Amino acid sequence: MTTTFDRALVHGSADTLREKRTQLSALEIPKGRGWDPMRDRMAEVLSTQPQGITAVIDKLVITQKVLDELPPSPANNRVSAFNELYLKITRRVDGALTAGDEVNSPDFLELLDVEFAKRYFAALNLWNLDDEDTPDVWEVLFKRGHDTRMSKLTAAMLGVNAHINHDLALALIGTWNELGAPTDDQIHPDYLLVNEIFYQETPGLRRGFATDWQNEIDEFVGPLDDWSQRILVRVTRAHAWDQGREMWELRNNEKDFEAARRAMDRSASLIAEWAIFGDRVVTISGWGVTGTLSLIRRALGQDD
């Protein structure tokens, strides 16, 4: 059965999503987007497209150096937190490709990694050019790069949200444009392999980015956070695969495709604003929570 794409309905949904997002946060975009005072250096880094995963890693390394020089102080810009996480994950994917025995279709996995990275680099470049076409979901993070009230953990998760809930479906479509859409299950296990890398890397990265009180909570709940994040990675990446398959059917209609992309962007940006809202609420009560957990541990005889 063929489903007709209702562009007007999708446009209306996208407008509603943006309205809801602005209700959550009225934070304006800084005058003159861009990675000042490293705008020129960032433009130089982003002037070429990577052609393989080694080039992606090299570009992420240089991007990390640029982001670490940005305000508010060295290595404290919140966008750098996501870039650090992304670099570690990409190095693990490269390791899987080099080992070879875990991957069914190395061409698919490497090209997907490159297409994935291109979306992130494109967003960085659009912001640097003060371009209004910067995806909303990346704008949510980029305009808060100087905001040290937001934890590095939340900042990194905002980047993951943008990359998975917006960029990944588009990267799949870019990959399928080159290699053809999947007709069997050969490449899907390679796609799921990245889930395993996330599972293995995220707990350590999360604890490294967390504040003291967040680590107090993490220690108290034990493996529960790790389990819940495994579920989150699995669900969001499965959803991105499904989104990619649905948008693949729209690839030859530019207006319909862009309408679907915009709605996807607005939905992901609303998720991001909710995450920031939650981070604010929890941060305000964080030290009180830490004290409460200490009392509970003492009551349970868990203190040394």
**251 falls within a domain:** yes
CB contact at 8 A, 267 and 17 = yes
DSSP 3-state of 300: coil
Q: What angle do CA 25, 228, 156 make, to 5 degrees?
A: 45
**205 falls within a domain:** yes
- Structural domain count of the chain: 1
pTM score, two decimals? 0.81
**23 falls within a domain:** no
- pLDDT of 206 reads 59
**119 falls within a domain:** yes
- pLDDT of 151 reads 84
- pLDDT of 115 reads 97
Closest CA to 289 of 223, 225, 212, 206: 212
Range of the domain at 113: 33-299
**148 falls within a domain:** yes
**10 falls within a domain:** no
Looking at per-residue pLDDT, the higher value among 207 and 142 belongs to 142
Average pLDDT over residues 204-217: 52
Confidence band of 53 (pLDDT split at 50, 70, 90): very high
